[in-house]
Each structure stands twice: as C-alpha cells, then as structure tokens.
Structure 1
C-alpha cells in the first residue's frame, strides 16, 4: 500500500457526490466497464458498470481516502474530493466483483437489483471497433480486475504511476504495485494511441447496440412460467451466473439449438463437391468445397453451431455493419474446419453471410464468432476469407480457383510481387496486416496486398488485387484509366495490376486505413481527368476513389494529384461524400475543385469534371466559366466558390461534397 503523505480532504456532501456522478457519468461508467472482469461478457459488464456507478452515491456526508483524494481528477484534471470519493467507490465495487466467486457473487448481484438497471429480452453490447480495438480488448482480457483498473487509471484518467497506486489502495487492492506492473506490460508503449482507442465505441457502455435473446427459448420459458414461478425466479438469479470450467470448450455456448427442426445440426451441413467450381457458372462461395484437417470433426462442428445458436459469456461476437447475427433459414455450407495457429477454426456460409468460429485449442480464454455479409460475391470478392489474425499477421483461406498467390506492397509500385505459399487445404502463410506496427491513425512504411491469379479452367490470365481492411473478406481493388481523346468510348474499370494502376494506388493506399471495419466490398480509383496546370505546369491527375460496401451504401472521394510528387505522396482531398452513387455506374458524372498555389506563388481555382461535362462555372467568391470539363482561374487565397457543370444532356451537375 502506498504510504505517500497526503492532505486530508474534507467530508463530501451527498449533493456534491450526486453532482459529480451526473457530470462525469459516461466517464465513470467507462472506467467501471474497463475494470470489470472480461469473463462477465459484454452484456453483463454493461449492466454491472451502470449499476456500480449508480450505487457509488453515498448515504450521507463522507470523506474520500486522504491519499486517493490528492490524485488527479476527471480525465487527469485537478484533484476533486467529490469525484475522488465516487471513483473510489466505483473501483472498489468493480475490483471486488472480479475477486468474488460462487455464492458470494450471486448474493452480491442479487442484492438490490430491482431499483437498478435491468434488461429483459435484450442483450446489450458496445459498438464493435476495428482490429486495433479488438486486439487491445483481447490483451486486457488476460488481466485481473486490479490490473485492469490500473490500466484504465493510467491510460484513460492519465494518472501518474504514484497516483494510480494511491487510488488502487483506496479501492481495496491488496498489491497496487503488482497491478501497475501487469497493466504496464499489457499497455506496451501506451500513450495517446491507447487513450484514443479506450475513448472509442468499443469501450463505451453508454452507447450500446441491442439484440434479442433466444426468442424461441424465451417463449418456452414464458409458457412454463405459470407452472413454475418459483423455479423461474431462482433460475433468473442462479442460471445466468453459473460458472463453468475454463478448460471445457463446450462452455463457450450457453445453450444448444432449440428444437429438432433447427438448421444448425452438424449432420445437416452442406458440403459442395470438390470439382464443382470447375463446371459451374456461379463463381462464389457456393462453389467452395469443405476443406481443412478437421472438416470431419463432429464435436468441433457441433460446438461451432451451438455457439452460433446461442453465444455464451465467453464468446466475443462481431459483425460487419448491416450484417445480421441471427440463425440461418436453412443448413449452412461448410467451407473449412481446421487448426490455424493456436486456434481451431470453422468457416461457414449460409447464402448471405460468412460465419467464422474460432476457439483456443487449449480450451482457455475466449472464443470468437464473426459475421460478414457476402451476398452477390464473385470470382474476386469471393476469392478469400480471413481464418486467423495473430500479432499483426493474417492468414487467408483461398478459393479453389486461385492458381497463383503473391503479395506486393502498394507503396512500392515498381517492385514485383513476392510468392505466397498456399497449403493443400487452401490456407496461406501469414501476411502482414496493413498498418500493423504503425502508430494509431498512421499508414506505416508498407501496405501489403494480395495478388491472385485465377485458374485457366475458368478464365484466361485473370489477376487481381485484394487488400485486408479488417473484415472477414478482403477488399477488391480496381482502376479506371483517364478518358481517351476525342470521341473515344468511356473507359471501363479494370484490375489494378498494371503499372499505371499501381502508380495511382501508391498515392491512395494510405487512405484505405479509414475504411477499416466498414464492411467494404470493393474500392476503385477512377482517373476521370487530367489537367495541365497554369503558368506552364505539367499535367495533374484528378482521381475519384469509389468505395462500395456489401450492404449497398457507398462513398466517393475526389483526390487531386499534382505532378512531380513522390510515388507514395498522398493526393490532396478535393471533395468527398457519404451514401452516394457518385463515381459508380449509377452516377457516372463528377465535378470537383481545389485551390492550388503555383511555384510562382499565385493562387488558382482549379476544377475538373468527367468526360460528360461540357462547361464548368464558378460563382460566389470566384466568378468564372470555361467550356469543356476543365477550369483554371486566378483567385484570392481562401476564396470560396460554388462550382456547377453542364452535361451533354443539358442537365446541371453540382460539385461533389
């Protein structure tokens, strides 16, 4: 226990404590959520975090621990006795919760539950984060409550090590120094990147998503309630809190599929013929055969299906945006079952979604259940599935029609691809995850992508690029070159494997990081215009980067790339728009502008439209017009102009964004 000298704080009135709770409620709940043991599961941690903060209100005047009262206040601010008292009680309850077990924990949770947060028929969990948040959450899951509290106080509150020890001691932690050491080991370099992750939605129990509990099982319980009211009352306290042996993999599922008609039976799994892909016209996941060394392991398959039916508290469930987590309408298709690193992995497909189940082979720790929408996949978007991510490396399961696999770096467009070994069961060697090891929000020094070539049995010499953006399926990258001269027909999207396409993507690769975890299906770079710069400058490129998601929503971003910059220099963002069909085949016209400073120090308004634009006009801070799709006019620095274009059809086109 820390024995640092401290000045005793005066008693805190109940009204002061209440005001501190109300003012800092979201922050206190996040602190409690981070401290509570991961074994509770996210639903119970959300409810327990709110319960602990609401119970922190004292019954009368009370002084905080004199040592802890000198520690920093909310989010590292100045000391605040009222906040110190409330924080002390929140942490005391969270740490005690992690130390209790058996009947003591059930009695603790049952006491006073009626007036505090209670949810019937719903399971709550914070919004899913990206790969960085998931990695941090899994790292924290290995820590006990004292170390988790130390981690939160350091990274979230910004307290110094001495202050962390003081607050832990006041909260009843027997060995604060050990807790701080364990937290430091888990945090690594820590700092602002970790604090930013902790401030995100993955760790915010005040902004939650709701999903139903097992509806069929709930209906059965309601029917039985009239016959066994007392039994149900006891079960409501005891059954959800019953522990299980950490070494029993079956404990990952809180129940099994209800009813004999459930499609989640291992004997009902669909298995495609190994040669189906060679003679079908539907080149998607339906053509994948069942592969993997454990594809006939009935017990593993049963566990995977049982977890899908009813995930237990030791299962981390995630889904890409717009993807249902519900049961399938018919028996799913088995794509893979085998050992990948230290995990046993099962990959299933139900016609709309890829479902990946993974459990640690030693039976300890947490299992994972991931959902991703993949309807309307094709040769490219159905060419690979992520089967494992460990230490910044990713393994993929490749489609049976992939004949050749390579990796290449988008940030080195002139470097040839490197061979990627694919095992007999279709699993690749580890591939470095883009951005792995780079500070949060940064691109890093490389952007690895996959370059596959399809078998000549289905198409001649078809090579394509895929990049990993944190979802179960990698993203297809394409490229459309600039328009031809005169009356040449419009260019069509093509694979991004040529030299011109690779040079374009070198300027855009680091923009891809912002798309992680969004359920992206494909991203295209459309070089819609080339413009010779004023005052004798060379030609600059205008590129519209179009992002399409599996659920249909899309976004567009216009980038301006001046000449003479390094191959990997990021292009300037001229405009962007969300939930738009711009730059797609359903929105084939685009217009955007930027302010550009010439080498001589003069400012110009530059604008460019796609090939269907016959005139560009500027109004507002700059008034000018030009026939054709390009405009360049001298302007004052910071001038704000509105751009419009006229199309060959006579229709008016507004600038993007």
Structure 2
C-alpha cells in the first residue's frame, strides 16, 4: 500500500491519486459489492458483475464519471479520509448513472457518461456469484423492487455501518435524487430483515468477487462462428468481383436452420408424477404433471425444443421483459403437449421460465414461441397458464390443485361468478380476453378455488394481462382502529370487489409488462366537506416478475357510481411504495363540492400523524387527513409527518390538480 504523504486539496473534493488507489486495492471487495447491489437488476447477474468491477476500477481520479462531486462526508471507519469517501462517492455516482439512461438508449450499453473503455471484458464465459439460500434469494427479490438509491442506502447502513446522516450526505455527493426518501426505504427494509441483514449481505449470493463461470451457449456460438466466417467469405468474393469488374448475381444469404438440433432431447425432459402435487411442500410449477394427449409425441416435442433452441425464420417469438431467451437447459420439465383448438401446443418449465410452443395442427404454417418468467411462483401465481389465445378468446391450463374455476366480471361488484368447464386434462373452455382498447364496459377475470388437499377453501382471483401467467389480484383493507398494519388478502370479499370495481379499468394499462400480482390497498378514508359523503384513498401496486413495481394512487367518493373509475392522483414507477417495504404513503388532490367551492384534500396511511401543504396553499394540520379551501387547480406540494418524526413526500411528487 502506498505511504505517500501528499496532502489532498481541501475544499475541492480532490484526493491524491496514490491515496485513491490504496483505498481501491484495500477495499476492493467491499466497493465491488456496493456497486453490484446498487446496479439495476435488469442488467442480469453476469453483466452486473463485470460492470461492478469496471466501475470500481474506474473510480481513480481522472476518469470522468459525471459532474464534479460535491464534498463528501468525513468517515470514521479507519480507512483514509478523504480518499475513502471520495472513491465510494465516485463508485456510487457511476452505479446510479445506470438508472438514468436517456429515453431510447440501448439497454446493453452503459450510460453516455461511461462510454470510455469498460474493463474487464470477458469473452466466451458467463460469470455470476455463487447461489445462496432461500433467505438470500428473498433479499435479492426485495432489493430488485427498491430504487437504486435505496439499495445503496441499505448497503451503507447494514453492511458498512454508516450513520444515517453520513448515508444522506454520501448519497447527495453521489447525485442520488431524494436521498432522505431512499434512507427511509432502506430503514424499512432493514427493520423487516432485522439483525440478519448484515449476514445476508455478506453471503456469497452478493459477492461479485467470488464468482462461478459457465460457458455461453456453445451450439449457438458455433453456429454464429460459422455464419460469421461465411459472411466474411461472401463479402470477400463480392469485393473481389467489384474490384475486377465482374458482374455477379445477388449473393446468397444464410438463414437459420428450421430443423436445428434441440439443446436437449424429449427423453431428457422431467415429467412429474400425476399425484405429486397433493404430497409436497412446494406447490408451484414443479408440481405440475405432464398432461395432454400428445405427451408421447416425440416428433412434436422435438420440434418444439428445436424452435426454442434456435427459432427459424418466420417464427413469431415473444419474450417477456427481463427474460432470458437462452435454449432449454438440462432439467427442463414438460407441462403439456396436446391439441387446443386449431393448434398443437407444448408447454415447458425450466425452473425460471415457462415456455409455450404452438404450431398449426392440421396444415403446415408458421410456429410461435412465447417465453415468460416464473421464478418463485406459488399456489396462486402458478395456478394457471394461457394455453391458447385467438380471436379475442383464450383458454387456460389450470394447475392440478385447482378444484373449481369460475369467471366473473370485475366491474359490477355484486355480479356472481359463473362456472367454467375444465377438461380432465385441465384445459378450460374459451373465455373472453380483456380488451386493451375501446370502452371499458367489462373486465373478465378467473376465480379459482384450491383443492382441500393443500389448503381449505382458498379462493382467489387472477386476470389476464397479456402474458403466459395471469396476474394474481389481492386486496388490503382500510386500517383498523389501533390494529397492526393489515396484510394483503384475497380479493373475493364484498369490500374487495367494491374497491376493485373502481380500479378494474386501469388493469389493461398493465398489459405486456410482465406483471406478477396487483394489490389494491385502501389506505385512508375521510369525510368530505359540506356533507359531500365519504372518500376512500387507495394505492394500486403492480409487482412484476423481474422485481420492480409501479403504483397508482387513486381517490374515489361515495357520491359516484359503483363502477365509475377512481381518479388517479399519483403515479410512480420502479418504487417500493405501497409494498411491505414501503408501508407509508401520503397523497393529495383537488375536489369540488356541490356548492361549487373548491377544496384541497390530502390523506396519509396509518403511521401519518400530520400533513403539511406548501405552494398556492400553505397549511399544516394534525392527523391523517386534511381538507382546506383552495383555488380551482392549486400548485402545491404535500408532505406528511410520521409518528417517528420522519418526513414523507407524496407518491410521484407532482403538483396537485
């Protein structure tokens, strides 16, 4: 380690080069872990490992990582100051920049500010940290749902042990937006994990310096190698012909092989015993038996595996967001093979993804391949798969533990469910597909009930949002007086159906976005001025299979019809708000009484004990709700005070309209 005594420039935020290098070498593993956990999860584990190492190695002064950083907080942890804080801030700033790409910027490229050479570079290998246990996987899922500043704050608090004030200053120095909000989210995550948080973060699941290696897809790489040299040969011949003046016909083009050899054979597929689901503690896709009349049709299944391995030209391929399209790995499971309508359909599950292959059953035609994520599915999110979709109708293949299926319209809250016929193989009759365009006059959903062999009288709702797996709908009721925070429950009660009836028309907005579940949380109610009735504030959270979630904060009154869409008063994307790690929320909106007078209304969740409004209206009030006379469209900022003294910004932080 360098022992140079050259002083760092004071007030400028600069440090001696040898001091920064000493910090990077001495704290390399910790800095890489911090970068790895802060980077966006949709980069993938291999890419995050490489980028994390690159960002730490580029943290030496002289590499351009963005705007000049402001002064960073002094640290008292035995590593050189100000070099340690300076290096840590530069690493954080670079990692946070990956969440701030310009619109349309390619996802495989780093942000524009980091387009200098990014070493290390690895060819022909995939790198990823060693797998941890269930708790580490659960923590990884939680971190993926949080924002990048919140992830960074969580690591700084739990792993580095920094005081909260230093965390806020360090995030500010790194250019993080709203560092106080990130700190609150990190504290909620830490409270949920308790004393185990530090041990989990130190596990091999998050150690990007202790990695495993695997080759990339060898078959595909071999084909691309041959195609590349073929293309080079063709280009050389064309250039030679042009140079010698010889006119030639159009050069032939290579195409992908429609009869590509599958990565695995039908004989290598896993087939779960038919009754395994009734005697297992893991009730998910792994418990599905192989069903359908063509499970022994090796020719069909081999074609499906071949198309999955290397889709030929003309194949319609649909891959969900943040889902790998890699060929079938060993251990892939066969779920279904049979004829559904006019198509022959094969369904697979490989532990992380579900895959549907379809081809015309009667005459030759183009095949289709759809791939979606399914990791950590459970009794509800693995309850059904879309087995066919045609002409506004769809059919489901239900899980073997589903004892009863019904359809119901989510708009009329009092409409009864209608029985849905299910074949012995588990395929349902055709049901209406929710329309993504036009007037919202109905919203069909499935109501399923599990067998008593695994759970007693467990009924739940799922809705088609354009993917292979329908989204699970749940409901969290209004807080009770003096009661602990309530947990989401099934959306089958009268109160849940009344609340969902006012939100149902927003569901089509979530189509094709990889949504795993949607929870409707009624977080506050208040009496409206001038005897205007009662208002309910709700937060609708859509959580995706890949981790991040989006929320809609909505406001509805008792004076409106039972199916009138609630008013949207706030939106946020890639946030932990309205989840178990973002249990506090405040929102505001304008409202007009029957007399024509205008009011500003605001409300917060159960831990709010005061609301402050600034802007066109300046007022502070105790309690969880506020109603004050205001201009017609006030430009205001709403904040809340929690019972522990913390401040809370409204979701979306936009002017109330």
TM-score tier (shorter): 0.5 to 0.7
Cα deviation per residue 1:358-415 (whole Å; 9 max; x = unaligned)?
Answer: 0011333321000000100000000000010111110000000000000000012111
Residue 330 (structure 2) pairs with residue 316 (structure 1): no
Aligned to 1:557: 552
CA 1:309–1:614: 2 relative to 1, 3 Å: same
Cα drift, residue 326 of structure 1: 1.1
State how far apart, in whole Å, the 2-side matches of 1:289 and 1:575 are. 44
Aligned to 1:215: 221
Cα drift, residue 230 of structure 1: 9.0
Question: Residues 471-510 of structure 1: matches in 2 within 5 Å?
Answer: 471-485=467-481, 487-510=482-505
| C-alpha RMSD over aligned residues | 2.5
Question: Residues 47-62 of structure 1: matches in 2 within 5 Å?
Answer: none
State how far apart, in whole Å, the 1-side matches of 2:231 and 2:526 are. 74
Question: Residues 531-542 of structure 1: matches in 2 within 5 Å?
Answer: 531-542=526-537
CA 1:542–1:229: 2 relative to 1, 3 Å: closer
Aligned to 1:567: 562
- Residue number among 515, 526, 535 corresponding to 2:510 in the alignment: 515
- Residue number among 429, 437, 441 corresponding to 2:437 in the alignment: 441
- Residue number among 520, 528, 539 corresponding to 1:525 in the alignment: 520
Aligned to 2:401: 401
State how far apart, in whole Å, the 1-side matches of 2:597 and 2:346 are. 61
- Residue number among 458, 465, 490 corresponding to 1:462 in the alignment: 458
Residue 638 (structure 2) pairs with residue 634 (structure 1): no
Cα drift, residue 445 of structure 1: 1.9
- Residue number among 583, 587, 590 corresponding to 1:595 in the alignment: 590
Cα deviation per residue 1:165-202 (whole Å; 9 max; x = unaligned)?
Answer: xxxxxxxxxxxxxxxxxxxxxxxxxxxxxxxxxxxxxx
State how far apart, in whole Å, the 2-side matches of 1:232 and 1:473 are. 49
Aligned to 2:348: 348
Alpha carbons 2:308, 2:328 under 8 Å: kept? no
Cα drift, residue 329 of structure 1: 3.3
Aligned to 1:21: none
State how far apart, in whole Å, the 2-side matches of 1:268 and 1:235 are. 46
State how far apart, in whole Å, the 1-side matches of 2:501 and 2:296 are. 44
State how far apart, in whole Å, the 2-side matches of 1:518 and 1:373 are. 11
Question: Residues 334-345 of structure 1: matches in 2 within 5 Å?
Answer: 334-345=334-345
Cα drift, residue 237 of structure 1: 4.3
State how far apart, in whole Å, the 1-side matches of 2:447 and 2:639 are. 40
State how far apart, in whole Å, the 2-side matches of 1:443 and 1:508 are. 14
Cα drift, residue 224 of structure 1: 8.9
State how far apart, in whole Å, the 2-side matches of 1:273 and 1:282 are. 14
CA 1:558–1:403: 2 relative to 1, 3 Å: same
Cα drift, residue 239 of structure 1: 5.6
Aligned to 2:261: 256
State how far apart, in whole Å, the 2-side matches of 1:469 and 1:443 are. 17
Alpha carbons 2:587, 2:602 under 8 Å: kept? yes
Aligned to 1:644: 639
CA 1:364–1:227: 2 relative to 1, 3 Å: closer
Alpha carbons 1:358, 1:369 under 8 Å: kept? yes
Three-state SS of the structure 2 residue aligned to 1:240 is: coil
Aligned to 1:132: none
Cα drift, residue 314 of structure 1: 2.0
Alpha carbons 2:310, 2:327 under 8 Å: kept? no
CA 1:428–1:530: 2 relative to 1, 3 Å: same
Alpha carbons 1:314, 1:365 under 8 Å: kept? no
State how far apart, in whole Å, the 1-side matches of 2:358 and 2:237 are. 35
List gaps (5 residues or longer) in structure 1: 1-210, 243-250
Paired positions, count: 428
State how far apart, in whole Å, the 1-side matches of 2:592 and 2:468 are. 43
Aligned to 2:296: 296
Aligned to 2:381: 381
Cα deviation per residue 1:476-525 (whole Å; 9 max; x = unaligned)?
Answer: 0000110111x211111100001110011111000001000000000010
Aligned to 1:201: none
CA 1:538–1:342: 2 relative to 1, 3 Å: same
State how far apart, in whole Å, the 2-side matches of 1:579 and 1:602 are. 37
State how far apart, in whole Å, the 1-side matches of 2:224 and 2:235 are. 14
Aligned to 1:37: none
State how far apart, in whole Å, the 1-side matches of 2:438 and 2:346 are. 33
Cα drift, residue 422 of structure 1: 0.5
Cα deviation per residue 1:586-617 (whole Å; 9 max; x = unaligned)?
Answer: 10000100000001111000000000111000
State how far apart, in whole Å, the 1-side matches of 2:282 and 2:583 are. 28
